[in-house]
């Protein structure tokens, strides 16, 4: 059943869009770029990071463009001062608490929005230790921005395995297995869909991580089984 298109304006330009389209998609159609972080075309949009917020006439709060659908007569501002301030603050808060060193897109965005990395100097940084509990990938949640893509691809967006979810609440929120069990003891099938969608390097193939730690390829390929599993220290092997 084809429903008739709706008419709306985005940044002053009047366009026709199908009513099941999101504001993000409608804007993309006419070449207006709305920044996204947690959004991924392959995953269900959740409006978690709020970087895609836009100003909509008659709406009290800013509206996340990745999930809000277009409506007849809607007037959308994608780059107003209010929108920019919100985006800047989000980026500054991310900077204050998360290691963004392997998220070049977010860093570039922060520069574009003149975000001040030192705006919240006293913020409590999230710095949990790297979890190295299996031979396939590591989890470095100090880099995690809680975009939820990994949880979604582990669930209905791809794998239907449900090995991971949020644990904790508020600032304590972290992606975890149930009861923090080591990954091999969960339903995980090590497909690595989660690694494939991670935007910040929090999830990383084990061999990539070892290479970054300074191990030479030959050293990596000569690790013993228990060294690969992460049970024994590798201190003596570093080059």
Positions touching other proteins (CB under 8 A) are: 41-42, 101-102, 134-137, 153, 156, 158-161, 163, 181-182, 184-193, 195-196, 201, 205-208, 211-212, 217, 221-222, 225, 228-229
The sign of the torsion formed by the CA atoms of 19, 22, 27, 29 equals negative
Q: Which is nearer to other proteins, 57 or 222 (CB)?
A: 222
Cβ-based nearer residue to other proteins, 7 or 222? 222
Instruction: Give min distance, CB of 170 to other proteins, in A.
Output: 29
- Judged by beta carbon, residue 41 or residue 81, the one nearer other proteins is 41
CB closer to other proteins, 75 vs 208 = 208
Instruction: Give the number of other CB atoms < 10 A from CB of residue 63.
Output: 20
**CB of residue 179 vs other proteins: minimum separation in angstroms?**
12
Q: What would the two tokens of residue 167 be? A: 């644990």
Phi and psi at 104, nearest 5°, equal -60, -30
- For the bound state, the minimum distance from the C-beta of residue 5 to other proteins, rounded and expressed in Å, comes to 26
Q: In terms of CB distance, is 93 or 211 closer to other proteins?
A: 211
Query: What is the smallest separation between the CB atom of 57 and other proteins, expressed in angstroms?
Result: 34
SS3 per residue for 114-127: CCCCCCCCCCCCCC
Q: Distance between CA 179 and CA 188 in Å, rounded?
A: 14
Question: Least distance to other proteins from the beta carbon of 4, Å?
Answer: 26
Task: Name the minimum Å distance from CB 76 to other proteins.
Answer: 27
176 vs 193, which CB is nearer to other proteins?
A: 193
Tokens of 14: 């009047």
Question: Using CA atoms, how far apart are residues 97 and 143, in angstroms rounded to an integer?
Answer: 9
Pairing relationship of beta strands 6-10 and 53-56 according to DSSP bridges:
unpaired
Instruction: Round to whole Å and give the CA distance between 21 and 16.
Output: 11
Measured CA to CA in angstroms, residue 181 lies from 118, 176, 188, 228 at distances of 36, 8, 11, 18
């Amino acid at each position: 059943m084809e429903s008739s298109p709706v008419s709306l304006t985005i940044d002053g330009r009047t366009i026709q869009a199908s009513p099941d389209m999101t504001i993000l998609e409608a804007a993309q159609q006419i070449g207006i770029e709305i920044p996204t972080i947690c959004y991924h075309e392959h995953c269900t949009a959740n409006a978690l990071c709020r970087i895609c917020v836009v100003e909509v006439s008659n709406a009290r709060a800013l509206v996340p463009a990745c999930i809000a659908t277009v409506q007849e007569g809607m007037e959308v501002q994608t780059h107003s001062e209010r929108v920019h301030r919100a985006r800047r603050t989000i980026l500054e808060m991310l900077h204050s608490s998360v290691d963004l060193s392997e998220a070049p897109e977010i860093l570039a965005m922060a520069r574009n929005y003149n975000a001040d990395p030192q705006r919240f100097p006293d913020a409590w940084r999230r710095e949990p230790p790297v979890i190295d509990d299996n031979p396939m990938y590591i989890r470095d949640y100090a880099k995690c921005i809680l975009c939820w893509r990994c949880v979604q691809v582990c669930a209905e967006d791809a794998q239907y395995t449900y090995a991971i979810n949020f644990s904790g609440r508020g600032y304590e929120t972290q992606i975890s297995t149930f009861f923090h069990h080591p990954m091999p003891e969960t339903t995980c099938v090590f497909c690595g869909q989660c690694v494939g969608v991670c935007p910040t390097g929090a999830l990383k193939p084990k061999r990539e991580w070892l290479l970054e730690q300074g191990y030479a390829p030959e050293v990596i390929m000569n690790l013993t089984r228990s060294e690969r599993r992460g049970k024994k220290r590798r201190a003596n092997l570093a080059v």
